[in-house]
Amino acid sequence: MVGGAALRGEVAVAGAKNSALKLMAVALLATGRSRLTNVPAILDVTIMAELLRRLGCTVDYDAAAGVVEIDVPHDIGHRADYDLVRALRASISVLGPLVARCGAADVAVPGGDAIGSRGLDLHAAGLEALGATVHVTHGFLVAEAPEGLHGAEIRLEFPSVGATENVLTAAVLAHGRTRLENAAREPEIVDIAQMLTEMGARITGAGTSVIEVEGVRALTPVEHAVVPDRIAAGTWAFAAAATRGDVEVVGGVAEHLSAALELVKASGAEVTVTDRGFRVDSGGRRPKAVDVATLPYPGFPTDLQPFAITCNAFFVNEATVTENLFEARFRTVQELNRLGAETRIDGHHVMVHGVERLSGAPVEASDIRAGAALVIAGLVADGVTTVSGAQHIDRGYAGFAESLRGLGADVSREPDEDFFL
């Protein structure tokens, strides 16, 4: 299509991918049937379901209803194979629950991915502090605690989301008290802590940088609704501002997105909290470019950084976007340049000079967020933009093309995995 339509109307966000996958791992901590609702309809949930099945669980995933039911037997396996971990890096979140439940976990070490090297050293150090021995052998991270885990005082060098989750999910069944300092504070951590608490865990401080856990002997299965996806909600906020549109994000939680919505406001759009979520109204104006630096929550999320770069590429003036969490997470940039963006990368910074209009061209998605950001770029570019590698977008956004069409965009999704705008 010819870019240019302002997005208007309402769009709904489902549960957060990065919470749903972890909550599925949390279910392993209790024998019996747990039920998750508000689960997004994405491939990653199917992969995590397969991983849990191989551990001996029965998993029913009704993607249309957004429900996953996991029946966990008393005795479960403790091995996560490479074929699944490779397909889904979030598989690493079974590490904590497996060591806590089985006294052992063999989890294949994920390979590097497209957004920079990501270590597991903090996960390993946290579990070691809780009494496990951890080593890597034949491509597996092996954690063992045959006598069980014990509480500990742990300080993470960096507030890693994954390491915080694995320490938390291991500590809930450890003997005694754990104090985790410099913990990640993301809403997804709070969601996990909430489900654990409903299961009978004793946790205080989730959502702050100090989490305390008093270990209990056993947990019971529960029903839990996944927290709304703040990154999907933020994507719609940027899409509304970018296309000079007016969109209500139903289910979006503005307070989970303060830093991102401040930026959208600073660019000139109006953001209001509504009964059902929040609304971004650009007033039809071309927004102003705004400097951004990614930081751990509650700072500006790295997952929204590609959208900030994309928007600045055609907003008024110029701005610098700084990536502080991941190396090499600037893959959007070279593709944006194909659309006529004027950018310069200097280490962790990208200087972006806003051009009046981008110009449609074929581009390639390298990961979920870069892919969605390129689609937004295509929405404001002259002529036809084709985003290949659209299967990456499906990993984070169920029905992205349908949602865009519902807001007035002329977008089609080709079965041959390309995304035509």
Residues that are catalytic: 113
Q: Which of 85, 54, 84, 82 is nearest to 70 (CA)?
A: 54
Which of positions 267-306 make contact with ligand EPU (CB under 6 A)? 301-303
Which of positions 394-413 make contact with ligand EPU (CB under 6 A)? 396
Kindly list the strands in the beta sheet with 104-108, ordered across the sheet, starting from the edge strand earlier in the chain: 79-80, 104-108, 140-144, 133-137
Count other C-beta atoms under 10 Å from residue 189's C-beta: 23
Distance of alpha carbon 167 from alpha carbon 171, whole angstroms: 6
Name which position in 72, 163, 309, 352 contacts ligand EPU (CB under 6 A): 163
Name which position in 3, 13, 18, 47 contacts ligand EPU (CB under 6 A): 18
Residue with Cβ nearer ligand EPU (215 or 396): 396
User: Both ends of the chain: CA-CA distance in Å?
Assistant: 5
Residue with Cβ nearer ligand EPU (43 or 216): 43
Name which position in 111, 133, 153, 158 contacts ligand EPU (CB under 6 A): 158
Which of positions 93-132 make contact with ligand EPU (CB under 6 A)? 117-123
Structure tokens of 256?
A: 């989970």
Structure tokens of 17?
A: 């991918």
CB of 316 to ligand EPU, least distance (A): 29
Contact between 369 and ligand EPU per CB under 6 A = yes
Q: Which of 289, 267, 271 is nearest to 280 (CA)?
A: 271
Instruction: Give the DSSP letter of residue 383.
Output: S
Residue with Cβ nearer ligand EPU (167 or 289): 167
Residue with Cβ nearer ligand EPU (102 or 183): 183
Counted residue by residue, the chain has a size of 421
CB of 164 to ligand EPU, least distance (A): 8
Give the SS3 label for residue 52.
helix
| DSSP H or E run through 392 | helix 391-394
CB of 218 to ligand EPU, least distance (A): 27
CB of 101 to ligand EPU, least distance (A): 21
Name which position in 99, 227, 259, 325 contacts ligand EPU (CB under 6 A): 325
Distance of alpha carbon 1 from alpha carbon 389, whole angstroms: 18
Residue with Cβ nearer ligand EPU (116 or 406): 116
CB of 227 to ligand EPU, least distance (A): 12
- Total of chain residues touching ligand EPU, rule CB under 6 A: 22
Distance of alpha carbon 6 from alpha carbon 303, whole angstroms: 24
Strand partners, 141: 107, 136
Buried b (16+ CB within 10 A) or exposed e, 143-160: bbbeeebbbbebebeebb
Name which position in 55, 161, 213, 313 contacts ligand EPU (CB under 6 A): 161
Residue with Cβ nearer ligand EPU (117 or 137): 117
Contact between 160 and ligand EPU per CB under 6 A = yes
Distance of alpha carbon 160 from alpha carbon 278, whole angstroms: 28
CB of 74 to ligand EPU, least distance (A): 28
Upper half-sphere CA count for residue 274 (Cβ side, 13 Å): 15
Give me the residues that bind ligand EPU (CB under 6 A), please.
18, 90, 117-123, 158, 160-163, 301-303, 325-326, 368-369, 396
